A and B are shown apart, each in its own frame.
Chain A
Amino acid sequence: GEDVEQSLFLSVREGDSSVINCTYTDSSSTYLYWYKQEPGAGLQLLTYIFSNMDMKQDQRLTVLLNKKDKHLSLRIADTQTGDSAIYFCAEREDSSYKLIFGSGTRLLVRP
C-alpha cells in the first residue's frame, strides 16, 4: 500500500540550511507536496513538484526529486527561527486525488 516516511526531528542553527527528507512508495503519483504546520495552525502549502521534474526552486526553498529512489527532499536556505514548524511531505494518489501524508518532521531552529 501507499506509505510516506519522514524523519521525525531536525535541529539546525539559524542561518544554516535545513534539509528535510521523505520517501514515498506510489511511483505513479504525479504530484508531490510540502506543507508546513505551525503550532495550533492549519496546513500551509509551501511548494509542490511534478513527477517529471528533478528540481524546483522557489526563493529559499529547493525541492529535489529522485524518482528512481522515490526520494523527495526540501531544502530551506538561510533557515530562520520563524521556520520552526512541522513539515509534511505528501503524495497525491492519482486515482482518487487524496493526499497521503508522512508523519511530519519537526524542525527546530536554534538562535
Chain B
Amino acid sequence: DSGVTQTPKHLITATGQRVTLRCSPRSGDLSVYWYQQSLDQGLQFLIQYYNGEERAKGNILERFSAQQFPDLHSELNLSSLELGDSALYFCASSAGSDTQYFGPGTRLTVL
C-alpha cells in the first residue's frame, strides 16, 4: 500500500458526460501528479500540482482540468467524454521533487 488513495476504483459512463476522479496523497506529500495509462499511448503525464498550485502540464486535453485543494487532495475533471478517453488514470504523490508513489488508479470506461 503506497498510502495514495484514489476513488472511485471503476467508473462507467457514456460519451458526452463529465466525471470527477479524486486523489488523496500520502500524508505530508505536497505534490500530486496525474497520469493516464491507455493501450495505445502507454503511461502519459497529464498535470502536476504542488501545494495547491499548478506546477507542470503535460499532454492534457482542454476538456480535462484538475485542481488541488487546501487539504492537498486533488480532483481530475474529465468532460465531454469520448470513447478514446477510456483508460486507467493514476494519481501519484511526492514530498517535493523526489520519488513519486502511485495510487491504485481509477479505471474509466466510456460507452
Q: Is B16 an interface residue (CB 8 A)?
A: no
Tell which of B43, B99, B103 touches A88, judged by Cβ atoms closer than 8 Å.
Answer: B43
CB of B104 within 8 A of CB of A98, answer no
Q: Is A100 an interface residue (CB 8 A)?
A: yes
Residues of A within 8 A of B56 (CB): 96-98
Interface residues of A in 56-111 (CB under 8 A from B): 88, 96-104
Given contacts A33-B99, A98-B56, contact A41 B104 (CB under 8 A): yes
Interface size bracket, A side = 10 to 19
Residues of B within 8 A of A98 (CB): 33, 45, 48, 56, 58
Residues of A within 8 A of B97 (CB): 97
Q: Looking at the complex, which of A11-19, A20-28, A42-50 is the stretch in contact with chain B?
A: A42-50
Residues of B within 8 A of A96 (CB): 48, 55-56, 58
Could you tell me the dominant secondary structure of chain B's interface residues? Answer: strand
Given contacts A33-B99, A101-B42, contact A42 B48 (CB under 8 A): no
Q: By CB atoms of chain B within 10 A, which of A31, A41, A99, A104 has the most?
A: A99
Residues of A within 8 A of B103 (CB): 42
Chain B, Cβ-Cβ closest to A100: B45
Q: Is B100 an interface residue (CB 8 A)?
A: yes
Given contacts A97-B55, A100-B45, contact A44 B2 (CB under 8 A): yes
Kindly state the separation between the CA atoms of A45 and B35 in the bound complex, as whole angstroms: 15
Tell which of B31, B33, B55, B99 touches A48, judged by Cβ atoms closer than 8 Å.
Answer: B99
CB of A104 within 8 A of CB of B45, answer no
Chain A residues packing against B (C-beta within 8 Å): 31, 33, 35, 41-45, 48, 88, 96-104
Chain B residues packing against A (C-beta within 8 Å): 2, 31, 33, 35, 42-43, 45, 48, 55-56, 58, 90, 92, 94, 97-105
